[in-house]
Amino acid sequence: MLIDGLSLYKRGHLYRINTPIDSLYFFFDYDERCYKENMQFQHFHTFYEIMIPLEESAGHLIDGKYYGIKLHDMVLLRPSLLHKTVYPKGSPSRRIIINFRFPNHIYGMEEIFSKILSLFDARIPIYRFPEKEKKKLYQVLNEIYRLTDSTSECKNLLIHNKFLEFLSLLYEEQEYNCYKPVNSGMRLQDRIYDITAYIHKHSTESLSLDLLSQKFYISPYYLSHTFKEVTGFTLISYVQTVRIRNAQLLLISTNDKITEIAMRCGFTSFSQFSRCFLKTCGMSPSEYRSAYTVHGLETFELQEKS
């Protein structure tokens, strides 16, 4: 079904090639989400992700910073980047999610693959295009959609090739990106998001209520109250959660000692780190590392224990 005159879409339509821990992986997910399904906290993946809203407005948190997004914007998320979509209240919001990983060390093509994937490393990795460029990009996306319903024996190869065409076109058209950062429109919320972005950037440093209230010229009482209201977390809990997220990434991406990871992520003692990790993840750091090694966890959402 062609919606909004541009995008092929069918609720619940999905197609997967391989698994998230394979060197070649694709997952195309056409579905909708509503406000009550907003994640409690930001999560990360070990693969690349593209999120495309098919509604007029939504929001996206990237490393604690809020970005307003609109219909047909493309949010490009590199592996390990903390993020979550913020769906508005009201009717469910349609969106397309594309997860992928592919070998990019092909002899003679390393440089171009590096350039194409650099799109995901942009300071603000959100892309919005004028109508002409948008139509070219969505034409390729729609061809991928049609291929997922194909009966061709070669369809996985064709999807792979067509997706590389899409990324190449996105790279070539990036100069037309006209996205401008937009706040949430709520002064209180935007102020708190400025603070969360600071926390993400300085998570290894000392981050007390007094320090942040002085830096952002907010009374400690007001900051404490409004921070919880906007994020759902106390300030101390939010700081610890960001540090745990960073520790999770290091646990699965390095062989560093767990005690070293704890200190590097801003915890003042190993016992404090172990206690926080168990509380938020439901398992010890060593169990978490083993679980990833054995099972290849796709996403790492913190599960607060009641």
For residue 294, give the H/E element and its range: helix 285-295
- The pLDDT value recorded for residue 269 is 93
pLDDT under 50: residue ranges of the chain: 298-306
- CATH 3.40.50.720 is right for the domain spanning 2-176: no
- The pLDDT value recorded for residue 105 is 81
Q: Where on the phi/psi map is residue 242: left (φ > 0), alpha (ψ -120 to 50), or beta?
A: alpha
- The pLDDT value recorded for residue 299 is 46
- The pLDDT value recorded for residue 231 is 92
- The pLDDT value recorded for residue 50 is 98
Identical fold between 2-176 and 187-295: no
- The pLDDT value recorded for residue 97 is 97
- The pLDDT value recorded for residue 40 is 84
Burial zone of 60 (CB within 10 Å; 0-12 exposed, 13-18 middle, 19+ buried) = buried
Which backbone phi and psi does 43 adopt, to 5 degrees?
-125, 175
187-295: CATH homologous superfamily?
Homeodomain-like (1.10.10.60)
- Segments making up each domain of the chain, as ranges: 2-176, 187-295
This prediction has a pTM of: 0.87
